[in-house]
């Protein structure tokens, strides 16, 4: 499974591609950030994020895109920029028919470190260890993108089984009904 992880942001949008399957060693195929100028207008910044993500999709051809789910913060401006960059990432994937999964920050932290309250240094250290890297990816947005991809690879099989079970249950329960 090849996953593009996206840690959305307007100034720095972390991107990282990981390949592998749950229970086996994972391989990092690429990591970086898509940067936009702080002084540019919003429209141009969103176009820059789109172009950056499209370039990563073209180069790495992921089977899935894992995006950090936007959560409420006290700073509304930060939340809006994060949500807008997140929407751009989802749009780029949807245009290509690539499934998108949203993962909360605590879900990603728990998957990678064992604690949903881990700090950025702990996430970076575990990403470094899990992907057998010489040093933690910098900036932290890049490490977070890799952590998102790892989380998805590890959690997708269980999520798929759960979705299939729900679908089977729904089909069985609707067969007994009459129209």
Catalytic positions are 7, 68, 141
Check whether 68 is labelled as a binding-site residue.
Answer: yes
Task: Write out the two tokens for 14.
Answer: 């972390």
Q: Exposed, middle or buried, 71 (CB in 10 Å: 0-12/13-18/19+)?
A: exposed
Residue 141, annotated as binding a ligand: yes
> For residue 23, which phi and psi values (nearest 5 degrees)?
85, -5
Strands 64-68 and 2-7 come out as parallel
Tell me if 63 is assigned to a ligand binding site: no
3-state SS assignment for residue 158 = helix
The Cα angle at residue 106 between residues 103 and 108, in degrees rounded to 5: 50
Annotated binding residues: 7, 68, 141
Annotated binding residues for Mg(2+): 7, 68, 141
């Amino acid at each position: 499974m090849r996953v593009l992880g996206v840690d959305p942001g307007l100034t720095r949008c972390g991107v990282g591609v990981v390949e592998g399957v749950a229970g086996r060693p994972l391989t990092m195929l690429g990591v970086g950030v898509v940067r936009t100028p702080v002084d540019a207008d919003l429209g141009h910044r969103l176009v820059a994020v789109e172009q950056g993500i499209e370039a990563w999709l073209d180069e790495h051809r992921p089977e899935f895109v894992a995006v950090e789910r936007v959560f409420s913060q006290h700073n509304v401006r930060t939340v809006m920029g994060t949500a807008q960059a997140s929407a751009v990432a989802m749009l780029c994937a949807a245009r290509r028919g690539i499934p998108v999964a949203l993962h909360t920050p605590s879900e990603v932290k728990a998957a990678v470190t064992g604690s949903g309250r881990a700090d950025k240094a702990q996430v970076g250290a575990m990403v470094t260890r899990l992907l057998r890297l010489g040093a933690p990816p910098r900036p932290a947005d890049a490490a977070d993108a890799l952590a998102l991809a790892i989380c998805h690879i590890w959690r997708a099989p269980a999520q798929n089984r759960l979705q299939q079970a729900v679908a089977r249950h729904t089909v069985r329960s609707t067969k007994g009904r009459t129209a």
